[in-house]
Structure 1
């Protein structure tokens, strides 16, 4: 099966990385979105862990190091990032906190983002995003297992598709979801050989830290599809 997937530039939470992605012309950039202690929407890989005290501080510090950011500097706001994107490409908002979906989508629309994708592990967050803006693509996110009934899981979340770690993606899963019109996103795919396998399976989105490499694979798949 030759099917051209959309390449999503993973975790563009650092402004320097976002600017790099925009320079090379990626199709979609992904931001991890949460609300900080001041109530502002920021882009960082935080989430509601419920962990407080020293352990919570260590976990927050770890997320910052993963993103390559100096913990002494505040994270960028979602508004700052969206103002840089504008209509240049699509935006994938991976919502790490409950109750931020309406504000996040509204900000994306304010800055003219042409395609808005919202993912979350919270069903109500996905459902609400779809209710307030029917043109949003809503994805049940961060799935790290092989769903026994993937179609049912997407339906329960009122979503348009599911985002699954590449290790758990197989042909049967893709075909089940595609048979009823649902989309399949796969993360985080950095290995070109693995990307080629997933393209053959017909996945719809490849989320990657190496969009430049995977764009070539996706383009080749698109060319073959055009010849078919």
Structure 2
């Protein structure tokens, strides 16, 4: 009886120990589950913060001022004339360097024209100014580097080395005008995308001016 009694006395203790183990396990699982939920909640919070940051960044990117509008409205026809000049190289240019640069100008500036028109549409602004001196291809040779209609007709009439030389001279002047306009945008603009494009224009066209001058020096 004594052994039996001792067994009975130990049995509850074992049950208590077992219950304690189960309870501890349940608490551990609960804690893990709680951590998971908390982490999930943290992830959602992070996502919301990220979304809010993206929205804020988008709003800032959409901000613009008059300088941004002027930059886009003036650079569109400026790029369009550069494309017109570059397209004349096909069948007229004889220098490999001129041909290569003409293709690069087309590849770089055609997409930029599309982008700038998109900005102006999103800003509810016209894609062209009502009046832009020198931008009608009539005056030309202003600070913007635009060519006159007479210049363009003269270039069309050229072929071979004569075309190459005139193209290089005209494009250097044209690029320098674009660089000046782009630097004004960098200084006075507000829109992040417009200022970035302005920086790309300054960098890219400055490099092309050096190439054109090098070609001109050897022709």
TM-score (norm 2): 0.27
Higher helix share: 2
More strand by share: 1
| TM-score for both structures, normalised by structure 1 | 0.26
**Larger radius of gyration between Structure 1 and Structure 2:** 2
